[in-house]
Chains A and B, each alone.
Chain A
Amino acid sequence: ETGVTQSPTHLIKTRGQQVTLRCSSQSGHNTVSWYQQALGQGPQFIFQYYREEENGRGNFPPRFSGLQFPNYSSELNVNALELDDSALYLCASSGIGGGGTGELFFGEGSRLTVL
């Protein structure tokens, strides 16, 4: 067990809706990274938060947004859902941010289906 928990584990939405995914990082970790993994592909970096600030962002549109709370847990929000947003969303916590991420500890993911 990594100590990283994500919720919900599965969810189904329709196009145009909005979704919020949650992640509790491992105790002592101050960095959370979010990834999108489509079937048969590797995880694609969405963004990273270090001590409540966005520390980097991948090639995702602004309708993907997030935040990190003082306890270092994090949320990923996706607005105006599209069919292509169907994927496994992975949260990873790590102990170092802003200067080398170190080992990533992943949660089991939230599997989103958009109909």
Chain B
Amino acid sequence: RKEVEQDPGPFNVPEGATVAFNCTYSNSASQSFFWYRQDCRKEPKLLMSVYSSGNEDGRFTAQLNRASQYISLLIRDSKLSDSATYLCVVESGGSYIPTFGRGTSLIVHP
């Protein structure tokens, strides 16, 4: 089983839609969680950290479920500019090495 797993998609949604991605992780000792965004042929950039209590940044909401070992990202009112690959990142206790999932591709169409 991979350490961090994501559905690669693509998720193809119309503008204004709400879309959610999940990411599962295998190491129960994982400490820190993040979502990164990667545009086509560009480097990844931090979208948001994921806190135990959940957190929101505008149209984006991140949740952590430690019992089931997954994190989620919810995007409301999708924009064309949200089209990108969303990478789940997990840091495990001890090594603190960020491990990336393979990413979920989102395509928002008019």
Q: Which residues of A contact B (CB under 8 A)?
A: 2, 33, 35, 40-45, 48, 56, 58, 90, 98-101, 103-104, 106-109
Contact = CB atoms under 8 A, between A and B. Distances in A.
Interface of B is mostly: strand
A101 B98 contact: yes
Interface of B: 4, 6, 8, 31-32, 34, 36, 42-46, 49, 87, 89, 91, 95-103
B60 to A, nearest CB: 16
Contacts of B4: 42
Contact of A101 (B36, B44, B91): B91
Contacts, number: 57
Contacts of A101: 32, 91, 96-98
A99 B101 CA distance: 21
The 10 closest A-B pairs by CB, nearest first: A106-B43, A42-B100, A42-B102, A56-B97, A43-B100, A42-B103, A103-B46, A100-B96, A41-B102, A42-B101
Interface of A is mostly: loop
B97 A109 contact: no
22 contacts: A2-B43, A2-B45, A35-B100, A40-B102, A41-B102, A42-B6, A42-B87, A42-B101, A45-B100, A56-B96, A56-B97, A90-B44, A99-B96, A100-B91, A100-B96, A101-B32, A101-B91, A104-B36, A104-B46, A106-B45, A108-B43, A109-B43
Contact of B44 (A40, A43, A98, A99): A43
